[in-house]
Structure 1
Amino acid sequence: MLGAEAADLLDAPGGARDRQLLRGAALRVYEFHQGFAFVEAEADGYTGYLDTAALAPAVQPAPNASVACRETLVWEAPNARSMARSRLSFGAGVHVLEEAKGWARCDIGHIPANHLNIGRRPQTDPVEVAERLLGMPYLWGANGAGGIDCSGLVQLACHACGIACPGDSDMQAAELGQALPESARLQRGDLLFWKGHVAWVSGPDQILHANGYSMNVAYEGLSAAMARMDDAVIARRRL
């Protein structure tokens, strides 16, 4: 399990980021090499290297709650004036020991209870989940710690709703939901894919995506986006 707030999943020891893992992510560890562990993320089968310091101790309790807002802090005491010791992103997992007076005492400190999805209940609207990250900076390969990319936004929202989802947009285009014919009328929650890019349909002639044009998670008019992009839509999927 990942014990750090977040960790980059690298293509080689000390290499480039392929994806990103958040605290509480379940992992299979296959080998250790030069201070790095070669791991597989159980949620999507993604493999890569991460710093061994990011791994949780073997006795770490399994998460029973996850961060439900864009980000939260972990306080030393259940008091807004106490010191904050760390920062967690949407979807990060913690183990709640007890709730009292609006605070959750967790394995790593205290978090406002309304910042958590205690019991990790599946959400029902992936677009609403993605909307919680509006304005987050675009960061290629990231899943919400310091930034996020297009496929990370789709994966994070799907996982919050209990929907299995791979990490890369090409795999998402092949595996998520059902293919839509070009004649089908788009509706909220549909996914549009371009070469190397994916966006949620969030409303009539509107998409929501993490993109390198505005460099953040943003709404954009679908007609304007299609006029701006050089590549045509290559897939339309409905969950």
Structure 2
Amino acid sequence: MDRRTTPANARAAHDSLRGQIEAPRFTAGEPAQVSLPLVDLLAAPGGARDRQLLLGDGFLVIDRHEGFAFGRAEKDGFCGYVAEAALAAPGAPTHWVAAPATHLYSAARVQAPERAGLSFGARLTVTGAAGIFSETTEGHVPTQHLRPLGEVFADPVEAAMLFLGTPYLWGGNSRSGIDCSGLVQAALLACGIACPGDSDLQQAIGEEVAEAELRRGDLLFWKGHVAMIVDATRMIHATGQFMQVVVEETRTAIDRIAAQDAGPVIARRRPR
């Protein structure tokens, strides 16, 4: 089983795996919520970053041990470890950050000290309004930077374009740093389209399309890389070649990637 999508470690497993694997114990899991602006989802306790989670993301805890919680990210099913200190009891988010980035302010004033920076996709519980700010359980946020949960983008390319110039970061999922699959996931989730966290997993979404039928929002896959079609000649992707999110001529990118021995395009998918 793929460890990234299997809610089990050496100490415990989710109830859904009963009869499929052996485990010291099975559990229904403990719902929790990310309480920090950004937290790494790790492959092992204190290990390498697989992905990142944002403020308000749901996390089903399967096991706790020595300061780390193992579990499953509710937004995409990705399993791994987060620091226990980054989790809190589950809340009831009402809005999400639909701007590339914003700040949590200590008061409803533009001059007020900021408490933290938040990325596109972070989830908040709005409790009231104060001028141009929304009052939340975490602080004050400019209302124009928020959308109610369920109010989504119509065009994933529009969402992806908000990340132009964002630094490349392996396993990144925020405006502070993002990788190719993180960019695609952020754009699709913003449109209400389910999307896994890694590019190889993303190859299973939607339907295969022919090269001649590619259109805006379709995905191109290489081994270990993914990009999104912008129009007939261009694509957008987060790439280590330029260490940022860029729009690039599609044919130029295909030729360059092939010349770097990364191989040809291996799939063309249309998310649904």
Scaled by the length of structure 2, the TM-score of the pair is 0.84
Q: Which has the higher contact order (CA 8 A, sep 6+)?
A: 1
Please show how residues 46-195 of structure 1 align to structure 2 within 5 Å: 46-56=78-88, 58=89, 61-144=91-174, 146-173=176-203, 175-182=204-211, 184-195=212-223
Identity over the aligned pairs, expressed in percent?
49
1:210 maps to a residue whose letter is A
1:53 maps to a residue whose letter is A
1:54 maps to a residue whose letter is A
Deviation at 1:171, TM superposition (A): 1.1
C-alpha distance in structure 2 between counterparts of 1:196 and 1:224, whole Å: 18
Q: SS where residue 203 of structure 1 aligns? A: coil
C-alpha distance in structure 1 between counterparts of 2:156 and 2:143, whole Å: 22
Q: SS where residue 227 of structure 1 aligns? A: helix
C-alpha distance in structure 1 between counterparts of 2:99 and 2:175, whole Å: 13
CA root-mean-square deviation: 1.1
Conserved in 2, the CA contact under 8 Å of 1:7 and 1:22?
yes
Q: SS where residue 98 of structure 1 aligns? A: strand
Structure 2 residue corresponding to 1:12, chosen from 38, 41, 44:
44
C-alpha distance in structure 2 between counterparts of 1:186 and 1:163, whole Å: 18
Q: SS where residue 195 of structure 2 aligns? A: coil
Conserved in 1, the CA contact under 8 Å of 2:188 and 2:194?
yes
Structure 1 residue corresponding to 2:234, chosen from 206, 220, 239:
206
C-alpha distance in structure 1 between counterparts of 2:149 and 2:200, whole Å: 32
Scaled by the length of structure 1, the TM-score of the pair is 0.95
- Bigger radius of gyration among the two: 2
C-alpha distance in structure 2 between counterparts of 1:61 and 1:45, whole Å: 19
Deviation at 1:62, TM superposition (A): 1.5
Deviation at 1:49, TM superposition (A): 0.6
Q: SS where residue 46 of structure 2 aligns? A: coil
1:23 maps to a residue whose letter is L
Conserved in 1, the CA contact under 8 Å of 2:163 and 2:175?
no
1:21 maps to a residue whose letter is L
CA deviation string 1:115-170 (max 9, x = no partner): 11124412110110010111000001111152000000111111111111111111
2:165 maps to a residue whose letter is G
C-alpha distance in structure 2 between counterparts of 1:30 and 1:172, whole Å: 25
Deviation at 1:44, TM superposition (A): 1.2
Q: SS where residue 45 of structure 1 aligns? A: coil
C-alpha distance in structure 2 between counterparts of 1:118 and 1:111, whole Å: 13
C-alpha distance in structure 2 between counterparts of 1:3 and 1:116, whole Å: 18
CA deviation string 1:80-131 (max 9, x = no partner): 0111111110000110001232210011110000011124412110110010
- The residue number in structure 2 matching 1:236 is 268
Q: Which runs of 4+ in 1 moved over 3 A?
A: none
- Structure 1: state its 5+ residue gaps: none
Conserved in 1, the CA contact under 8 Å of 2:166 and 2:175?
no
